[in-house]
Structure 1
Amino acid sequence: MSRNTLSKRRQLGAAGAGMLAASLLLIVSGCSALPTGSAPTASHSVAATPTAKPTVAPVFDPAGGAKANSRFFDHVALGVLAANPEAGGAEFINALSAGGFDKALMQVTPDRTAVDLAADSIQFSVRIGEDCLIGQTGPATQGYHSMVAPILATGMCLVGTTRQIDW
């Protein structure tokens, strides 16, 4: 394959991933998919290398909701990235499950595209009650990002194709 073809593919892949990420955030925050009167909390980025360490590590609160567990969700995801910056969806799901989140309530997008290229970003989520914890990372995302959002009208957290979590 020529360099020009590879360059065009990378540009198209990055643009497609950017559009997917933007679409995900737009749909997740769009009023038509949310229950009446619901709105997602503000999306936030979490630095992969924090400058100040918290004095107490966050812990999972099984009785707490998504907002109460968002700091722990980020802590787990950032731990996965610290161990392996190229981590795939299975690593995030396994770490979140080991941390106490219910694997049956998780979703994750594929690590590879339909044409077997590495995905420019992956999203993973945990449904807790009527809310979702959603994380996103990958080369096209400019770092790790997460948010708490209401469950979609479909009862799910992510829009589009997700992997079956059967491990």
Structure 2
Amino acid sequence: MRRITLWILSTLAAVVLLFSYRTSLGAATPPTTTTAATGAGGTGNTGTASTGPTTGETGTTTSGKTYQGSVASTRWGDVQVSITVADGKITAVSVPVYPNSNGKDKQINARALPILTRETISAQSADIDTVSGATVTSDGYIESLQAALDAAHVG
């Protein structure tokens, strides 16, 4: 009887370990960090801070003026949002700084940042929902976005 009980517990432990093992999903695709009003994809992200001002107007393009939000510090890393405004409307959003120091951060942000940028353009304000599973990044994103909107006097 003892031998059967030991065998069952060993088998059960092995099955639990097998099911809890996470396999690699391959290299995480870098998030699309620029979204234009037409829905065109962006160019990716370097994950480094810019050399320009941390908040305010950073340039003028043919499609409008670009404003950077402040760098929002989160427990997983810094987040900074940059918006392009034309005729009082947000036409593009990019995230030049976001947590990407490990595979989990890259995986989470590859999914979350395109959702957040799409919601920003749709809402035309910082009144957007956080992304489930990326709450910390979402909160930093919204904080930086609000700073960019304040600099642009939009929303």
TM-score band, normalised by shorter chain: 0.3 to 0.5
Greater gyration radius:
2
- Give the TM-score taking structure 2 as reference length: 0.34
More strand by share: 2
TM-score by length of 1: 0.32
